[in-house]
C-alpha cells in the first residue's frame, strides 16, 4: 500500500546550495593559505634583503670613513704645501731684498739664512765700507748683529756677520 501520492526522491546529505557554499569556503581557505604562504615567503625574502643591505651599508660606512681619512690627509698635505709655498715666496723676497741691500763694493761668498738668523760670509775693501754700507741696514733689521773681520793677503777684509732676531717666546 502506498501512503504518498508522489514518488519519493533521494535525499542527499548536502544540498546543491550547501555544496556551492562548501566549495566557495574551501576555495577561499585555499586562496588565503596561498596568500599566507606568499606573505611568509616575501617576509623571509625581505629579511634576507635587509641583512644584505645592512652588510653593504656597513661596508659603505667603512669606505666613507677611509675616504674621510684620505681627504683629511690630503687637506693636511695641502695646508703644508701652501705654507711651504708661502714661506718660499717670503724667502725669495727676503733674498732679493738682501741682495739689493748689498752694495757693489762688498762681495758675498756665502749666505746662511735660517728662520730667525742670517749669517753672511763675504769680502769688503775696508771695515768702514762694511760698517756704513751693510752693517747699518742689517742692524736696523735684526736685534743683534756681530761681525768678525779677517785681513786677507791682498789687503781686503774677509768678514763673518751673524745677525739674529730675538723671538718673544725665547725670552720667557
User: What does 99-167 look like in DSSP terms, one character per residue?
Assistant: HHHS-TT-EEEEEEE-SSEEEEEEEES-HHHHIIIIIHHHHHH-SEEEEEEEE-TTS-EEEEEEEE---
Whole-number mean pLDDT of the chain?
89
Model pLDDT for residues 3-49, shown as the tens digit of each residue: 777 887 788 888 889 999 999 999 999 999 999 999 999 999 999 99
Q: What is the pLDDT of residues 46-85, one digit of tens each?
A: 999 999 999 999 999 999 999 999 999 999 999 999 999 9
pLDDT of residue 170: 59
Cell of 15: 544540498
Q: What percent of the chain has pLDDT over 90?
A: 51
Amino acid at each position: 500500500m502506498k501512503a504518498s501520492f508522489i514518488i519519493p526522491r533521494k535525499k542527499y546529505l548536502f544540498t546543491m546550495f550547501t555544496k556551492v557554499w562548501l566549495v566557495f569556503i574551501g576555495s577561499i581557505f585555499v586562496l588565503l593559505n596561498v596568500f599566507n604562504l606568499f606573505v611568509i615567503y616575501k617576509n623571509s625574502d625581505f629579511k634576507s634583503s635587509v641583512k644584505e643591505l645592512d652588510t653593504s651599508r656597513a661596508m659603505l660606512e667603512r669606505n666613507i670613513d677611509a675616504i674621510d681619512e684620505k681627504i683629511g690627509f690630503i687637506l693636511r698635505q695641502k695646508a703644508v704645501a701652501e705654507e711651504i709655498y708661502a714661506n718660499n715666496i717670503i724667502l725669495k723676497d727676503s733674498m732679493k731684498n738682501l741682495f739689493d741691500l748689498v752694495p757693489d763694493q762688498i762681495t758675498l761668498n756665502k749666505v746662511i739664512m735660517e728662520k730667525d738668523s742670517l749669517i753672511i760670509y763675504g769680502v769688503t775693501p775696508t771695515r768702514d765700507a762694511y760698517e756704513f754700507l751693510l752693517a747699518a741696514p742689517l742692524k736696523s733689521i735684526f736685534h743683534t748683529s756681530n761681525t768678525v773681520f779677517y785681513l786677507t793677503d791682498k789687503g781686503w777684509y774677509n768678514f763673518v756677520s751673524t745677525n739674529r732676531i730675538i723671538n718673544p717666546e725665547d725670552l720667557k
